[in-house]
Amino acid sequence: MPDAAERLVNLALLLSSTRKHVTAEQCRAAGLGYPAGQDGVSFLRMFERDKDALRAAGLVIEVALDPGTGTEAYRLDAEATYARPVDLTAEELSALRAVAAAFADDAAFPFREDLMLALGKLGAAGHQGPVATTAAAGSDVAQRMPEVQALAEAVRLRKSVTFDYANARGGQRRRSVDPYGLFLREGRWYLAGLDTGIAEVRTFAIDRLNDLDVNPRRPRTPDFERPQGFDIRQQERLPFQYGPTVTPARIRFEPGSAWRAASLSRGHGRIDELPDGSRMWTVDFSDLEVLASWLLAEGPGLHAVDPPELIATLAVRLKEVIAAHG
């Protein structure tokens, strides 16, 4: 008996080459590799799974009613399935091959298989790129990739999830969450979603959640609507933006460091160019000490302008540093 992959390819070839729509029964009788003597219910279940597998590969299957039997009949929707040739520049192909090589063996990249399949379709999956990746993320990060993948699917299909979540103080409780989006920062993945227990949008570090369950019921029907204006970019905050209060700060980038403003701000706040070539960044903060520390770590070339408490904190703390190293 042919193996399952062979049967799937046979079904795909039939659906793509047939001019007339074919019914499940016609597929069964065509010798594609469905087990002989299989009862009708098991066959239909297998046939549904096969169609899902082909859809997952990218085949768009057109459904029509067979005029003779009144049952569903199928054919490939060629227009929706086949890609037009994509015109990539030499640099774009280099970049794609570099990306492929960087992530192909990176255990901490959650979408490796899909990435390789995508690059295969573009003919750019080459392993022989000049690029390598370090596995320095450690096995603890890599172990979390199945959760990241499951949550990414739950975000896409809008399925609710539950998990145990440990807070920073070590307490743990089960949460029910409508997952809205994911972001990655410094090698760590975060989930943003509606914690339905408290009816608030919260951010969760994925490496701190356990026993993840995605609602298995009605997998093709979304469980919730994502709020219309939701944008993951607004959930990802800067390290000093966590806390109950929000105060604006102004940071000046010297002319020689002005180019760094765009990347350090990560899209938060407002950047104004000043006549002398420096940039003024107005940004909200919640934690004064973390902001002071961040400014020192990212220097030189950045200066606190406002509020006065920020400047006072920096002065006091720097004097402490000087005293301790006298």
Partner 1 sequence: MARGLDASMRARRLVALLPLLRRGDRVALSDLATAVGCTAEEVAADLTTLTMCGVPPFTPFDLVDLYIDGAHVTVHADPPGLDQPLKLTAPEARALAAALEMAGYAPNAPLRAKLAAVTTAAASAEELERTIRTGTAPGGAAETYAALAAAAEAHEKLRIAYRTGSTGRVSERVVHPWAIVQRLGVWYLVAMCEAAGQERVFRMDRIRAFERTGDLFETPSEVPTAVVPDPGGLDVAEILFAPGTRLPDDRAWPGVRIEVLPDGSARAWMPYRATAWVARRVIAHLGEATVIGPGEVRRAVRELAETTLQQVQ
Phi, psi angle pair for 114, to nearest 5°: -65, -35
Task: Rule CB under 8 A: say whether 305 interacts with partner 1.
Answer: no
Residue 174 or 255 with smaller CB distance to partner 1: 255
Residue 97 or 175 with smaller CB distance to partner 1: 97
Contact positions with partner 1 (CB under 8 A) in 116-145: 116-134, 136-137
CA atoms within 13 A on the CB side of 21: 17
Separation of alpha carbons 320 and 326, rounded Å: 10
Cβ of residue 144: shortest distance to partner 1, in angstroms?
14
Contact positions with partner 1 (CB under 8 A) in 228-257: 230-233, 236, 256-257
Q: Are 119 and 88 in contact (CB under 8 A)?
A: no
Cβ of residue 8: shortest distance to partner 1, in angstroms?
4
Which one of residues 61, 145, 155, 283 is an interface residue with partner 1 (CB under 8 A)? 155
Q: Cα 302 to the chain's mean position, in Å?
A: 32
Contact positions with partner 1 (CB under 8 A) in 258-287: 259, 262-263, 266-267
Helix (H) or strand (E) holding 103: helix 90-104
Q: How many residues bind partner 1 (CB under 8 A)?
A: 123
Residue 70 or 300 with smaller CB distance to partner 1: 300
Phi, psi angle pair for 207, to nearest 5°: -75, 0
CA angle 130, 134, 138 (to 5 degrees): 160
Site string for partner 1, 63-102 (x = CB under 8 A): -------------x---xxxxx-xxx-xxx-xxxxxxx-x
Which one of residues 59, 73, 238, 283 is an interface residue with partner 1 (CB under 8 A)? 59
Cβ of residue 70: shortest distance to partner 1, in angstroms?
23
**Based on the number of CB atoms within 10 Å of its own CB, is 137 exposed (0-12), middle (13-18) or buried (19 or more)?**
middle
Task: Rule CB under 8 A: say whether 8 interacts with partner 1.
Answer: yes
Q: Are 272 and 279 in contact (CB under 8 A)?
A: yes
SS3 52: helix
Task: Rule CB under 8 A: say whether 44 interacts with partner 1.
Answer: no
> Which window, 63-71, 178-186, 197-205, 212-220, contacts partner 1 (CB under 8 A)?
178-186
> Which window, 66-74, 207-215, 243-251, 291-299, contacts partner 1 (CB under 8 A)?
291-299
Alpha-carbon dihedral sign for residues 134, 139, 140, 143: positive
**What is the edge-to-edge ordering of all strands in the sheet holding 61-65?**
22-23, 72-76, 61-65
Token pair of 226, please? 């994502």
Task: Rule CB under 8 A: say whether 6 interacts with partner 1.
Answer: yes
Cβ of residue 132: shortest distance to partner 1, in angstroms?
4
Which one of residues 45, 156, 174, 270 is an interface residue with partner 1 (CB under 8 A)? 156
